């Protein structure tokens, strides 16, 4: 029995070592970031103490944006590198920035034209941006003239349980919304509900093809929502706050800052 136990433990140690060897630490960006993301070009965007910081890759030169009137930014959507969205949830202000973090436009989505306080926003490549108003239980796509273009049905009328969304992003002509307790809900660009991905305990994520990419405290996870299959990769970190995958690079938020890893694994 003891011999069998040693063999089993040895197998898992070897497996973990192989997994960790697939990731090589490249650099560390010291930061107290509350949120970070990347764009399709690999540039990094950080929300930190009222600032939006862009770190150009591969030069690592930094650009900054801040405005005391906007308060702190809790969210950045850089899916369009020429039209970067920063969101101050406390004040309900959305700011659009160009590639140099120069302000292009700003919008109030609270107390100006809309009485409810928004909880989530994200950019839309079709037109305008998405906003979630919890008092209405609905997601609205709004244009730059603050006109509502389309909306979802009230989420409390869906056949699925829905409680409190924590993240959303528009990609691949669909809106993906994560409810930590109930899964990821998917809509078309006109607000029509399509399907639910039964992936719970996930907040921030990426979508690449049929895969949801997300991180636990120790793992990079790839979930194929068509085949309902999942692959997990053990990382050397113990307390991952959030992460991003821009293959072949992996960006992980830790207590020390944002760590950049090179990976040679075949992901899809």
What is the model's pLDDT at position 109? Answer: 84
Phi/psi of residue 69, each to 5°? Answer: -70, -20
253 CB-near residues (< 8 Å, 6+ apart)? 33, 36, 240, 241, 242, 243
What is the model's pLDDT at position 196? Answer: 97
Tokens found for residue 36: 């970070």
Q: Is residue 252 part of a domain?
A: yes
DSSP state, 7?
H
Give counts: helices (H), strands (E), the chain.
1, 24
Question: Does residue 68 sit in helix, strand or coil?
Answer: helix
Between the alpha carbon of residue 215 and those of residues 82, 203, 243, the distances in Å are 27, 9, 6
Which range marks the domain in which residue 7 is found?
1-30+205-268
Question: Shortest CA distance to 245 belongs to which of 223, 261, 229?
Answer: 261
| pLDDT (mean) for 99-113 | 86
Assess contact for 114 and 96: CB atoms under 8 A. no
Q: Is residue 141 part of a domain?
A: no
Q: Is residue 175 part of a domain?
A: no
Residue 28 pLDDT > 90, yes or no? Answer: yes
In Å, the largest CA–CA distance within the chain is 72
Q: Is residue 233 part of a domain?
A: yes
Q: Is residue 237 part of a domain?
A: yes
Assess contact for 36 and 30: CB atoms under 8 A. no
Q: Is residue 97 part of a domain?
A: no
The count of structural domains within the chain is 1
Q: Which residues pair with 121 in a beta bridge?
A: 131
Report how far residue 156's alpha carbon sits from residue 185's, in angstroms, rounded to the nearest whole number.
13
What is the model's pLDDT at position 113? Answer: 56
Q: Which residues pair with 213 in a beta bridge?
A: 206, 222
Report how far residue 39's alpha carbon sits from residue 42's, in angstroms, rounded to the nearest whole number.
5
Report how far residue 267's alpha carbon sits from residue 222's, in angstroms, rounded to the nearest whole number.
8
- What is this structure's pTM? 0.88
Q: Is residue 162 part of a domain?
A: no
Residue 235 pLDDT > 90, yes or no? Answer: yes
Four-point Cα dihedral 54, 55, 57, 58, nearest 10: 160
| pLDDT (mean) for 101-130 | 86
| pLDDT (mean) for 214-231 | 96
> Could you tell me how far CA 181 lies from the centroid of its own chain?
17
What is the model's pLDDT at position 4? Answer: 39
| pLDDT (mean) for 151-175 | 94
Residue 179 pLDDT > 90, yes or no? Answer: yes
What is the model's pLDDT at position 22? Answer: 85
DSSP state, 6?
H
């Amino acid at each position: 029995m003891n011999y069998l136990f040693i063999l089993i433990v040895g197998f898992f140690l070897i497996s973990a070592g192989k997994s960790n060897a697939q990731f090589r630490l490249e650099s560390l960006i010291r930061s107290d970031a509350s949120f970070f993301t990347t764009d399709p070009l690999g540039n990094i965007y950080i929300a930190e103490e009222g600032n939006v910081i862009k770190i150009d890759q591969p030069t690592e030169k930094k650009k900054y944006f801040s405005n005391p009137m906007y308060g702190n930014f809790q969210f950045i959507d850089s899916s369009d590198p020429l039209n970067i969205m920063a969101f101050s949830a406390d004040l309900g202000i959305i700011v659009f920035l160009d590639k140099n973090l120069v302000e292009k436009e700003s919008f109030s989505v609270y107390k100006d034209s809309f009485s409810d306080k928004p909880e989530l926003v994200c950019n839309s490549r079709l037109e305008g941006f998405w906003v979630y108003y919890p008092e209405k239980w609905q997601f609205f796509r709004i244009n730059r003239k603050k006109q509502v273009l389309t909306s979802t049905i009230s989420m409390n009328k869906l056949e699925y349980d829905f409680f409190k969304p924590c993240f959303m992003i528009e990609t691949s002509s669909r809106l993906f919304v994560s409810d930590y307790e109930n899964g990821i809900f998917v809509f078309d660009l006109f607000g029509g509900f399509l399907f639910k991905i039964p992936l719970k305990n996930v907040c921030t994520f990426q979508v690449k093809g049929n895969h949801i990419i997300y991180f636990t405290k120790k793992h990079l996870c790839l979930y194929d929502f068509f085949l309902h299959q999942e692959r997990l990769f053990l990382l050397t970190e113990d307390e991952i706050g959030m992460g991003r995958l821009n293959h072949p690079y992996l960006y992980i938020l830790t207590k020390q800052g944002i760590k950049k890893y090179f990976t040679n694994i075949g992901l899809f």
